[in-house]
């Protein structure tokens, strides 16, 4: 009787743990799960390394409002990493074992403190707030391009990954608007509103954070 059920069987044999139906249905719908999972590793590597906005935030001395907004962005980038990394495993992939390899393959430039031309270390005595804000802005723009590409790759073949990517994209667009607003005021003296609102909690990630589980019981 079970053999007559439309979705009771498919390209993966019953009991086979070497393949994943979740990846095969992506392939059947025209996607490439191997290519996609590698793209996701590159994308979440960028989210993981931009969590190191920590050092950029610390050097926004005297601008507590800027620091608060940067804190929201960096914690939400961590939420993006946490949201997507299980999908890499679901598609039959894995994360790089060496964190240096992970950092080297990210899809965006490092969001690090600016260094003087020809120098190896940043000169913190000459640090300009606008330089830090520009680095933050460009990091968010790279993320928008990255997750837009993931959306394009998955729109018609992988609704699960598409849902994650578009949720992250919503927040990255928020982040870009925040830093445009701050940089416009700091550098150009222009009011360029983002409609920024305070998150419920730092790093609230209203689109990308899944409901947290309490397993203490």
207 pLDDT band, cuts 50/70/90, is confident
Q: What is the rounded distance in angstroms from the CA atom of residue 65 to the CA atom of residue 88?
A: 36
Please report the pLDDT score of residue 215 as a whole number.
Answer: 47
Q: Which two tokens stand for residue 146?
A: 């990255």
Average confidence (pLDDT) over 53-81: 90
Q: What is the rounded distance in angstroms from the CA atom of residue 169 to the CA atom of residue 165?
A: 6
Name the superfamily (CATH) of residues 33-113+123-188.
Answer: Ferritin, core subunit, four-helix bundle (1.20.1260.10)
Better pLDDT: 76 or 210: 76
User: Given the structure tokens 């969001």, which residue do they identify?
Assistant: 111
Closest CA to 88 of 42, 50, 157: 42
pLDDT surpassing 90 at residue 128 = no
9 pLDDT band, cuts 50/70/90, is low
Contact predicate 91/20, CB 8 Å = yes
Better pLDDT: 215 or 89: 89
pTM of the entire predicted model: 0.85
Range in 2-6, 47-51, 165-169, 176-180 the model is least confident about: 2-6
Percentage above 90 pLDDT, the chain:
58
6-10, 118-122, 130-134, 204-208, range with greatest mean pLDDT: 130-134
């Amino acid at each position: 009787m079970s053999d007559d059920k439309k979705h009771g069987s498919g390209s993966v044999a019953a009991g086979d743990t070497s393949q994943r139906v979740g990846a095969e249905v992506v392939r059947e719908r025209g996607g490439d799960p191997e290519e996609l999972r590698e793209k996701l590793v590159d994308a979440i590597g960028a989210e993981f390394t931009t969590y190191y906005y920590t050092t950029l935030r610390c050097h926004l001395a005297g601008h507590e409002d800027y620091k608060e907004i940067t804190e929201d962005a960096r914690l939400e980038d961590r939420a993006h990493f946490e949201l997507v990394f299980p999908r890499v495993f679901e598609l039959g992939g894995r994360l790089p074992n060496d964190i240096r390899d992970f950092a080297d393959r990210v899809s965006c430039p490092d969001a690090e403190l600016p260094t003087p031309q020809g120098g190896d270390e940043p000169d913190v005595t000459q640090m300009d707030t606008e330089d830090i804000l520009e680095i933050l802005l460009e990091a968010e723009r790279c993320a928008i391009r990255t997750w837009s590409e993931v959306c394009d790759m998955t729109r018609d073949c992988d609704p699960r990954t598409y849902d994650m990517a578009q949720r992250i994209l919503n927040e990255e667009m928020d982040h870009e608007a925040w830093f445009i607003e701050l940089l416009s005021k700091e550098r150009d003296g222009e009011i360029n509103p983002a409609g920024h609102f305070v998150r419920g909690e730092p790093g609230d990630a209203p689109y990308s954070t899944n409901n947290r589980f309490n397993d203490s019981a």
